[in-house]
Amino acid sequence: MELNARVPAGPLEKKWDTHRFSNKLVNPANRRKYTAIVVGTGLAGGSAAATLAEQGYTVKAFCIQDSPRRAHSIAAQGGINAAKNYQNDGDSVFRLFYDTIKGGDFRAREANVYRLAQVSTEIIDQCVAQGVPFAREYGGTLANRSFGGAQVSRTFYARGQTGQQLLLGAYGALSRQIHAGRVKMFNRREMMDVVVADGRARGITVRNIITGEIESHEADVVILATGGYGNVYFLSTNAMASNVTAAWRAHKKGAGFANPSFVQIHPTCIPVHGDYQSKLTLMSESLRNDGRVWVPKKQGDTRLPADIPEEERDYYLENKYPSFGNLVPRDVASRNAKEQCDLGKGVGSTRLAVYLDFADAIKRDGEATIFKKYGNLFQMYQKITDSDPMKEPMMIYPAVHYTMGGLWVDYDLMTNIPGLFAIGECNFSDHGANRLGASALMQGLADGYFIIATSVAHYLGTNKLDNISVHDQAFIDSKRSVEDRIAKLLKNSSGGPAGKFTVDEIHKELGKLMWDNCGMARNKEDLEKALKELPAIKQKFWDYVYIPGDTKEINQSLERAGRVADFLEFAEIMIRDALTREESCGCHLREESQTEENEAKRDDKKYSHVSVWEYSGEDAEPKLHIEPLSFENVTPSQRSYK
Amino acid sequence: MSSINLTLKIWRQQNSDALGRLETYTLDNVNTDMSFLEMLDVLNEKLTKESKDPVAFDHDCREGICGMCGAIVDGVAHGPEKEVTLCQLHMRHFKDGDSIVIEPFRSRAYPIKKDLLIDRSALDRIIQAGGYVSVNTGGTIDGNAIPISSQKAELAMDAAACIGCGACVASCPNGAAMLFTSAKISQLALLPQGQVERKQRALAMVEQMDKEGFGNCTNAKECEAVCPKGISIRNIARLNREYLLAALTEG
Ligand SMILES: Cc1cc2nc3c(=O)[nH]c(=O)nc-3n(C[C@H](O)[C@H](O)[C@H](O)COP(=O)(O)OP(=O)(O)OC[C@H]3O[C@@H](n4cnc5c(N)ncnc54)[C@H](O)[C@@H]3O)c2cc1C
Ligand code: FES
């Protein structure tokens, strides 16, 4: 596997300009002769499909949901970063770049991150022009807030629905191109395979979710914008259909998978309340600005929070990290919550929760002030849990939230398969080992609106592509392999469900294995144990999974089974990736790699690199490749929050 | 937390062409902390184990924002709670021994695909007809170049909060898509960016609405009552003004 990042030469601030100038272009009159497939219509895919069509390319866009407007991006709440420096508080492109690189614990490529910061300002202009109703100051200018511990106010927002409004902006642009006939939209399609012919990505194989038909689609380039894989843990804050299937199938066709073990675990989610639970709900991080986190000092204390006197409470974050207190970064807050619960001090019926208490803030600022700040969130919490945070402490627990790992891409966002691009959360490119709040939306739109079209033009301008048709052998083979796999999934079903397992039962088992052993704190022993236990779960799935119904109809159990089958394969490289990275970095504590004060210890000598996995066949061990990272414009520093 | 026993009457229909009917299921020990969709998950696990076909229903975010879920529960779109989607409705709002009737959103413009799962692509086509500002990517002016009063921005946001679930259509005695269409028209009519195409937009979206077979508004206000995002029918009044003005001057 060849990993050439193709980072342009020259000084950091000039790279993107130089690159755009030296890249090949496609004459406007010729563009419509080229077809681009875009899989996914979230922020990344929606913006990419619209932009490519505006420029004149023929575009086919695909999504799982019944409408492109429903992609998982819709759920993002907090906001989107941009280096506008509207607040005149010292922000700049370089500062946003620096914060992102540092936030990622120096595990991302400088050039990509710098470009992200550069184009961030154009994103805001674009969205405003589309009619995105961002929050405004009384004078009519755009409002900003500081988010996720940033020292400048650079986050733009539309109430608590920023992702929704940005996505609807992109959906509008996409709808306009659908209307103009330049984008053909395929809703309710699930991509099952990338078709590679003569070493290039030339199309995809999809399942029509309504008819069950397996369809082939050809193109000159294929762009994956299929989001993150957090659902490998079963429970996460991701939407139910979020999956690794598209990325994993690309991986099996030769695309490198980078840093699969880099997963972000968000500290403030509503705790699990029962084994029927289907997903976890995020509560905004801003709550930690006024809430105090605590657990009872005594293990197994079942008293109501109000009955636990002050001196018997442990405000563990404030005690352990006096200067940051409750505002320590996500990973530190998450890890400590888990640690308290593991010590038997968890609260609530499952004992897997800690308190987030607003009583002191209410005493200090008054009920009205606190309610004005957090009323929305409190109501949402109350709707779900039936408990009022104005009266009793909230309960929170960490949950899987975002995946920094993804398909390996070069500076052009192209995977190592020529003609196959990956944008948005499904690539690995910008967030290193930890993503800053409000930066995923920024990256999705940067990739889709401002970067991918340059890459596509360059690829088409430099390569002569053969004519292709869906009747070619590569398409026929791909279709057959997809059909065979579906038949294999359904093979246990004839004998009825007795003695068998449902898809969800096995998915939950996988999720537990990953959460317990490949979550926020990891060690060699547990990871090796997980690697040993994984094949048995996989075997159980293939031997005993029971899927009702048929393939030539709407079959939601079959859809889920296909995704779980891929998660089961993918989990292996996650665990292996975690195992080989014997350092703590970003979101993850590697228990063997700690400072004397039990804080995360990064090891730049050995691990200042991207780990890229190559698929080597069904029963063969995956191969690890390395893309070394070099830092010429920033000096990697160790984090400290004490 | 407690648990309740339920009788569920659910619309079962194999596909668009098949005849549908209500089937009765009993489900015991339903934890009242469950969401409505989690209750359906539990039913589906049970049906699967009994070698029966699970109930097909749409859902994705389960946070009340994607607009994918929805069903008529005891005659009301998204069920008895105000301003929540079906995925955010919790079983604590039901009582032990309740019998609950669950049907798909119904409308001439929403073909049933299977059970509770419907085709709402007509709503997408209304947006495609003009529910956007026609700007290409790039070359836009600075975001702060045109000041917008925070009041205007908030009003636009109120309308923009629509999640496109389509409950409004399913609840309207005339099957009108006025609340949905008016939300987008209002958002863009309120903002300076939407002014240039204001008239064409109103004409084109209303024309598409009629083409899809949606009915007319007779002020029944059922749409507002069931809207999970609290979209106000004042938006319909605005749409009517916008349309009239456009028809008079452009038509
Ligand atoms: C609750 C929550 C809150 C968040 N808040 C913020 C925030 O405030 N700020 C921020 O910056 N980030 C936030 N994030 C992260 C951010 O929302 C996501 O990282 C981002 O939206 C991902 O966008 P995307 O376009 O890459 O993918 P997605 O939006 O996930 O879109 C994926 C698309 O791919 C399609 N797809 C997937 N698989 C297939 C397949 N096999 N075949 C066909 N189509 C497929 C889907 O249908 C969908 O259209 C939040 C995330 C969550 C979960
Ligand atoms: S599942 Fe998204 S709104 Fe209900």
Check which CATH number belongs to the domain holding A394 and give it. Answer: 3.90.700.10
Q: Where are the alpha helices (DSSP H) in A343-411?
A: 359-365, 367-385
Would you state the pLDDT for residue A639? 76
In a domain, A509, yes or no: yes
The CATH number given to whatever domain includes residue A539 is 1.20.58.100
Task: Encode pLDDT of A85-126 as tens digits.
Answer: 999 999 999 999 999 999 999 999 999 999 999 999 999 999
Q: How far apart are CA B251 and CA A9, in angstroms?
A: 58
Determine if ligand 2 sits within 6 Å of the CB of residue B126.
Answer: no
Q: Count the neighbouring beta carbons within 10 Å of the beta carbon of residue B148.
A: 20
Query: What mean pLDDT is predicted for residues A310-334?
Result: 91
d(CA B209, CA B216): 10
Chain A: give the shortest CA distance to residue B237, in Å: 21
| B153 to A128: CB separation less than 8 angstroms, yes or no | no
Q: Which residues of A touch B157 (CB under 8 A)?
A: 133, 135, 158-159, 161, 165
Which pLDDT belongs to residue A633?
97
Tell me, what's the pLDDT at B209?
Answer: 97
In a domain, A395, yes or no: yes
pLDDT at A342 over 70: yes
B-chain residues near A68 (CB < 8 A): 124
* A587: contact with B, CB 8 A cutoff: no
Residue with tokens 């194999």: B14
Q: Which among B60, B127, B150 has CB closest to A172? A: B127
Q: Is the CA virtual torsion A59, A60, A61, A65 positive or negative?
A: positive
* pLDDT tens per residue, range A554-571: 999 999 999 999 999 999
A23 shares contact with chain B (CB less than 8 Å)? no
Intra-chain end-to-end CA distance of chain B, in Å = 60
d(CA B205, CA A306): 56
Q: Which residues line ligand 1 (CB under 6 A)?
A: A 39-45, 62-65, 71-73, 75-80, 162-163, 189-191, 225-228, 237-238, 242-243, 245-246, 282, 401-402, 424-426, 438-441, 444
C-alpha distances out from residue A566 to A229, A247, A352, A547, A559, Å:
10, 10, 29, 16, 11
- Residue B102 neighbours by CB distance under 10 Å: 24
10 Å CB burial of residue A57 (0-12, 13-18, 19+) is buried
Looking at the structure of chain A, the number of domains it has is 2
Better pLDDT: A329 or A634: A634
Residue A273: predicted pLDDT: 86
For B182-233, the pLDDT digits (tens) are 999 999 999 999 999 999 999 999 999 999 999 999 999 999 999 999 999 9
- B157 touching A, CB under 8 A? yes
Q: Where in chain B is the domain with CATH 1.10.1060.10?
A: 121-135+144-249
Residue range of the domain that includes A323: 265-399
Are A76 and A163 in contact by the 8 Å Cβ rule? The answer is yes
What sign does the CA torsion over B142, B148, B153, B155 have? negative
B40 lines ligand 2 (CB under 6 A): no
Confidence of residue A286 (pLDDT cuts 50, 70, 90): confident
- Give CA–CA dist B126/B128, Å, rounded: 5
Task: Return the sign of the alpha-carbon dihedral for residues B59, B62, B66, B72.
Answer: positive
- Does B95 score more than 90 pLDDT? yes
B59 and A277 within 8 Å at the Cβ level: the answer is: no
Whether A128 sits inside 8 A of B140 (CB atoms) is yes
Pocket lining: B229 vs ligand 2, CB cutoff 6 Å:
no
Domain with CATH 3.10.20.30 in chain B: 3-113
Other CB atoms within a 10 A radius of the CB of residue A251 amount to 26
Contact: A273, B1; criterion CB under 8 Å: yes
Same domain, A480 and A590: yes
Q: For domain B3-113, say whether CATH 3.10.20.30 is its number.
A: yes
Mean pLDDT of A373-400: 92
Which one is catalytic: A154, A200, A330, A522?
A330
Q: Is A126 on the interface with B (CB under 8 A)?
A: yes
Cβ atoms B15, A553 nearer than 8 A: yes
Q: CA-CA distance, A399 to A385, in Å (whole number)?
A: 17
Residue B251's pLDDT band, with cuts at 50, 70 and 90, is low
Query: Considering only CB atoms, which chain B residues are within 8 Å of A159?
Result: 157, 161
The rounded distance, in Å, linking the Cα atoms of A70 and A239 is: 10
Distance from CA of A337 to the nearest CA of B (A): 23
Out of A352, A379, A399, pick the residue that ends a domain.
A399
B33 interaction partners in chain A (CB closer than 8 Å): 273-274, 385-386
* C-alpha–C-alpha distance, residues A263 and A440, integer Å: 13
For residue A64, the SS3 value is coil
Q: Looking at residues A510-534, what average pLDDT do you find?
A: 97
What confidence category does residue A284 fall into, taking pLDDT thresholds of 50, 70 and 90?
confident
Residue B65 CB–ligand 2 contact under 6 Å: yes
Structural contact between residues A163 and A77, judged by C-beta atoms closer than 8 angstroms = yes
**pLDDT tens, position by position, B60-76:** 999 999 999 999 999 99
Length of chain B: 251
Is residue A367 a part of any domain in this protein? yes
Give the tens place of pLDDT for each residue, A207-235.
999 999 999 999 999 999 999 999 999 99
Rounded percentage of chain B residues whose pLDDT exceeds 70: 99
The torsion angles phi and psi of B229, rounded to 5 degrees, stand at -105, 10
Query: Chain B partners of A139 at a C-beta cutoff of 8 Å?
Result: 147
Cα distance between residue A483 and residue A10, in whole Å: 49
Model pLDDT, residue A37:
98
CB pairs under 8 A between A and B: 220
Tell me how far apart the 2 most distant CA atoms of chain A are, in Å.
Answer: 76
Q: Tell me whether residue A381 is in a domain.
A: yes
B190 C-beta closer than 6 A to ligand 2: no
Best residue in B36, B58, B66 for a mutation probing chain A (most A CBs within 10 Å): B66
Nearest CA in chain B to A54: B136
In the structure encoding, which two tokens stand for residue B46, read together? 């049970």
Instruction: Report how far residue A340's alpha carbon sits from residue A346's, in angstroms, rounded to the nearest whole number.
Output: 6
Q: How far is the CA of B86 from the centre of ligand 2 (A)?
A: 7
- Residues A72, A164: contact at Cβ < 8 Å? no
Confidence of residue A638 (pLDDT cuts 50, 70, 90): confident
How close is the nearest chain A Cα to the Cα of B231, in Å? 15
Instruction: Report CA-CA distances (Å) from A23 to A11, A226, A276, A460, B148.
Output: 17, 26, 53, 11, 39
Amino acid in the structure at residue A274 = G
> Each residue of B101-114: pLDDT tens digit?
999 999 999 999 99
What is the rounded average pLDDT of the residues A340-363?
Answer: 95
The residues, ordered by sequence, that sit 6+ positions from A197 with a Cβ below 8 Å of its Cβ are A203, A466, A468, A472, A474, A475
Q: Which of residues 56-75 of B touch A (CB under 8 A)?
A: 56, 58-63, 65-68
B121-135+144-249 CATH fold: Fumarate Reductase Iron-sulfur Protein; Chain B, domain 2 (1.10.1060)
**pLDDT at residue A483 above 80?**
yes
Q: How far is B42 from chain A (nearest CA, A)?
A: 7
Chain A contact present for B93, CB below 8 A: no
Question: Which domain-ending residue is among A373, A399, A425?
Answer: A399
Picking from A64, A70, A490 by the largest number of B CB atoms within 10 A of its own CB, the best residue to mutate is A70
Please list, in sequence order, all residues whose beta carbon lies within 8 angstroms of the beta carbon of residue B173, skipping any fewer than 6 positions away: B218, B220, B222
Distances (CA, A) of A621 to A538, A565, A618: 16, 18, 8
Burial of A38 (0-12, 13-18, 19+ CB in 10 A): buried
CB distance B66–A65 less than 8 Å?
yes
Q: Domain for residue A350, yes or no? A: yes
Residue A583 lies in a domain: yes
Residue type, A39: V
Separation CA A384–CA B92 (nearest Å): 10
Beta strand extents in A371-470 (DSSP E only): 394-403, 406-407, 420-422
CA–CA gap between residue A60 and residue A37 (Å, rounded): 5
Q: Is the CB of B35 under 6 A from ligand 2?
A: no
The alpha carbon of B45 and the centre of ligand 2 are apart by a number of angstroms equal to 20
Residues A478 and A608 in one domain: yes
pLDDT on residue B1: 65
In a domain, A57, yes or no: no
Q: Packing angle between helix B234-250 and helix B198-211, nearest 10 degrees?
A: 110
Compute the CA torsion angle B136, B139, B143, B148 (nearest 10 deg). -60
- Using a CB–CB cutoff of 8 Å, tell me whether A449 touches chain B: yes
Dihedral angle sign, alpha carbons of residues A132, A138, A142, A144: negative
Q: Does A133 touch chain B (CB under 8 A)?
A: yes
Do A386 and A516 fall within a single domain? no
Q: Is A330 a catalytic residue?
A: yes
Predicted confidence at residue A323, as pLDDT, reads: 84
Q: Which of A399, A417, A447 is the last residue of a domain?
A: A399
Residues A605 and A489 in one domain: yes
Of the candidates A112, A264, A110, which has an alpha carbon nearest to the alpha carbon of residue A586? A264
Per-residue exposure over A421-457, b if at least 16 CB sit within 10 Å of its own CB, e if not: bbbbbbbbbbbbbbbbbbbbbbbbbbbbbbbbbbbbb
* Residue A74 included in any domain: no
What letter does residue A280 receive in the DSSP assignment? -
Find the mean pLDDT for residues A387-410.
96
Please give the mean pLDDT across all residues of chain A: 96
